[in-house]
Structure 1
């Protein structure tokens, strides 16, 4: 786990947009890579869901927490697995948090793809930033590699 406690809560407009994206994604329409992430709550065990952007990069899939140490990040760290869905298609996975410099190209690719949506959360750091600038921002934006699981036992 990284040492960050940064969390930027969504405002009213962001919450409204998230509701629209979530509704469309639940109906099977992925907007720019959107999925519904479901993770068991770390204290209740109840599945919690939120729309996220899944980044496909170097034959892997990643989740990046643009807003920082969100509830889904805390839950994913605690339980280590979850489910991504678009419509009725579900993908169960194990999450591996990426803590070293291998997250830098992932963050760069994420910013290239979604800077128009998430750039404000990165304090001026862009996809063209130096490695040092990206490294300084990395602790504020957790990165998880998605490892698909195929059997119920793997899903926990």
Structure 2
């Protein structure tokens, strides 16, 4: 297993908060579905999509999460926003381009529960995989 920087969410967030987030935060929280890198099964997680300078991004704010590893292995995925599902492709952003995106993410989502604390604990943009997303044609 590779060594990775990742802050695992607490039990309550994983088992309760992540299931309820799309219900209460429909204007902010979307659902990302990506195929598991080992199982090939669809995995769905709540995410906040960053709109920045005309592009859309997914930020793994807790570090190298399973969904980020899965996207690296299978970049074709699905994003459900306000009940509408679209087929998308994710392309990882190089580390050198992440600092302004992480700053924008913190500005936009830093007020959400846990985001500010996690970003303070993992301040290096290199610790956060970021993916530019585009609709598949």
TM-score by length of structure 1 reads: 0.77
**Alignment length (residue pairs):** 133
Name the residue aligned to 2:99: 104
- The answer to whether the Cα contact below 8 Å between 1:84 and 1:92 also exists between their aligned partners in 2 is yes
Give unpaired runs (5+ residues) of structure 2: none
Name the residue aligned to 1:7: 6
| Counterpart pick for 1:141 among 125, 128, 135 | 128
Name the residue aligned to 1:30: 26
Give unpaired runs (5+ residues) of structure 1: 126-133, 151-156
Name the CA shift for 1:87/1:31 in 2 (closer, same or farther; >3 Å). Answer: closer
Name the residue aligned to 1:20: 20
Deviation, structure 1 residue 86: 2.8
What are the within-5 Å matches in structure 2 for residues 1-156 of structure 1?
Answer: 5-15=4-14, 16-22=16-22, 24=23, 30-32=26-28, 34-117=29-112, 118-123=115-120, 137-150=124-137
- The answer to whether the Cα contact below 8 Å between 1:65 and 1:141 also exists between their aligned partners in 2 is yes
SS of 1:54's partner is: strand
Aligned CA RMSD, in angstroms, stands at 2.0
d(CA) in 1 for partners of 2:90 and 2:126? 17
The list of structure 1 runs, each at least 4 consecutive aligned residues, that deviate by more than 3 angstroms after superposition, is none
Per-residue CA deviations over 1:110-139 (Å, capped at 9, x if unaligned) read 0001112211112267xxxxxxxx6xx111
Deviation, structure 1 residue 100: 3.6
TM-score by length of structure 2 reads: 0.87
